[in-house]
């Protein structure tokens, strides 16, 4: 099967030429220094539609059109796959319908519609939407594009593996985000087919959505009923039989990372590499930074699979990461509720040349004695030692405040 898949990946490369971007492979000094490896980032977040999904969707539909006209293309998606199918369908002149869960963020729904697809909101979960999409495809005789468990979709994603080897033939390790397994199946087929066991391929899943990790470790399809992670792009309760077969044969290992590790990877990609990655897209970097993948002394490619992130979520991640990285802190205290008391605290902060981000002034807390007010102050700081100096100075003045950031 590997030879056949390699042949299809080669064909997909030609089909996608001029359709999908040949995305950059960018070296990262920051992540290299942090991990002790020579780290390169494969930037599929810069792909058309903001994720790798266009590759597989376009090639699968192109292959189907070789057999005859397609009146309608149907799929289910919570975001990226739907955009890929919508774009591919519009480019190939085919009508498309994407079924999405009713709680899909509005910006994702608008993106799919913007690429030319009709959207049907149905069900509370992706699985509900998937069942409905299959039902519609059967009723209308439409062509259904599976998001991962399809040979041609896998072949389209495998073109990424070819590009990696063209840019870095002597790569030692390729780290890949995993949901249903289509991306890593294609990349592993390309890399192993051309370089054999000289290159290790490692998949990463969130600890809150580990269906393929468990299936890989147990050697059989495992369904995970309860899934919860910020990496919504890789939430799959049950992987496909085809992807599990390929992963079992070609992938060297699977690892898990926690949501805080994913959030930190997103923050560092944004701040240090100037790259926007969605939570699923940052899984590979999270695995390297957390030590889940040990790559010291090796040439490593981390696939950044997508950049379609909810701006509100990104804002919260940045704010939280600033606290965790020691760049912001919060101090808390109780002050007499009379004019001038808060100014005493603000003056001390100003003396230390620290910038106040926000102030919360609370009079109505029943746990605080009448005549007093609770105060929480957020401060930009160079390090936590600077905050401790402020707290010590306040104490000298008889004002008791404490640190309430994650560094407490």
* Domains of the chain and any CATH numbers: 2-51+153-320 (3.40.50.1100), 53-144 (3.40.50.1100), 327-403 (3.30.70.260)
Helix crossing, 384-396 with 341-351: angle to 10°?
130
53 catalytic residue (yes or no): yes
Q: How confident is the model at residue 353 (pLDDT cuts 50, 70, 90)?
A: very high
d(CA 13, CA 249): 23
The pLDDT tens digits for 295-341 are: 999 999 999 999 999 899 999 999 889 888 888 999 999 999 999 99
Mean per-residue pLDDT over the chain, rounded: 95
Q: What is the pLDDT of residue 174?
A: 98
Proportion of the chain above pLDDT 90, given as a percent: 87
d(CA 166, CA 159): 11
Q: What's the distance, CA 67 to chain centroid? A: 35
The pLDDT tens digits for 58-98 are: 999 999 999 999 999 999 998 899 999 999 999 999 999 99
pLDDT above 50 (res 216): yes
Catalytic residue (one of 96, 305, 321, 405): 305
Q: How confident is the model at residue 384 (pLDDT cuts 50, 70, 90)?
A: confident
pLDDT above 60 (res 112): yes
The pLDDT tens digits for 9-31 are: 999 999 999 999 999 999 999 99
Q: How confident is the model at residue 407 (pLDDT cuts 50, 70, 90)?
A: very low
284 catalytic residue (yes or no): no
Check: CB of residue 230 under 8 Å from CB of residue 265. Answer: no
The token pair at 163 is: 């590009």
d(CA 81, CA 74): 11
d(CA 368, CA 325): 31
Write down the residue that tokens 């959505």 correspond to: 209
d(CA 320, CA 313): 11
Catalytic residue (one of 28, 42, 48, 53): 53
The string over 16-32, giving b where at least 16 C-beta atoms fall within 10 Å of a residue's C-beta and e elsewhere, is: beebbebbebeebeebb
User: Ramachandran region of residue 337, left (φ > 0), alpha (ψ -120 to 50) or beta?
Assistant: beta
| Mean pLDDT in residue range 26-41 | 98
Check: CB of residue 331 under 8 Å from CB of residue 399. Answer: no
The token pair at 27 is: 């070296």
């Amino acid at each position: 099967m590997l030879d056949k898949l390699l042949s299809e990946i080669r064909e997909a490369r030609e089909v996608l030429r001029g359709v999908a971007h040949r995305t950059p492979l960018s070296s990262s000094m920051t992540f290299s220094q942090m991990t002790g490896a020579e780290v390169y980032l494969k930037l599929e977040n810069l792909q058309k539609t903001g994720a790798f999904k266009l590759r597989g969707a376009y090639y699968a539909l192109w292959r189907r059109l070789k057999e005859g006209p397609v009146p309608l293309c149907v799929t289910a998606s919570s975001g990226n796959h739907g955009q890929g199918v919508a774009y591919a369908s519009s480019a190939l002149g085919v009508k498309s319908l994407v079924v999405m869960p009713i709680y899909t963020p509005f910006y994702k729904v608008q993106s799919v519609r913007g690429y030319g697809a009709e959207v049907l909101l149905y069900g509370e979960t992706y699985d509900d939407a998937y069942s409905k999409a299959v039902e519609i495809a059967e009723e209308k005789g439409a062509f259904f594009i599976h998001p991962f468990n399809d040979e041609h979709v896998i072949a389209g994603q495998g073109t990424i593996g070819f590009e990696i080897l063209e840019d870095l033939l002597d790569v030692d390790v390729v780290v890949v985000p995993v949901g249903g397994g289509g991306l890593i199946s294609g990349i592993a087929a390309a890399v192993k087919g051309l370089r054999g066991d000289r290159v290790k391929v490692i998949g990463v899943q969130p600890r809150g959505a580990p269906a393929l990790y468990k299936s890989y470790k147990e050697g059989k399809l495992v369904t995970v009923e309860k899934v919860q992670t910020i990496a919504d792009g890789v939430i799959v309760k049950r992987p496909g039989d085809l992807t599990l077969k390929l992963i079992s044969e070609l992938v060297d290992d699977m690892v898990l990372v926690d949501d805080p590790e994913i959030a930190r990877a997103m923050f560092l990609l944004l701040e240090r590499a100037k790259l926007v990655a969605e939570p699923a897209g940052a899984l590979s970097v999270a695995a390297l930074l957390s030590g889940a993948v040990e790559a010291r002394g090796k040439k490593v490619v981390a696939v950044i699979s997508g950049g379609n992130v909810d701006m509100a979520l990104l804002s919260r991640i940045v704010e939280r990461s600033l606290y965790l990285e020691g760049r912001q802190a919060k101090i808390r205290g109780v002050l007499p509720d009379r004019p001038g008391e808060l100014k005493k605290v603000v003056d001390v902060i100003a003396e230390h040349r620290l910038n106040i981000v926000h102030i919360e002034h609370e009079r109505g807390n029943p746990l605080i004695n009448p005549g007093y007010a609770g105060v929480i102050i957020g401060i930009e700081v160079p390090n936590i030692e600077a905050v401790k100096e402020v707290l010590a100075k306040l104490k000298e003045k008889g004002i008791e405040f404490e640190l309430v950031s994650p560094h407490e």
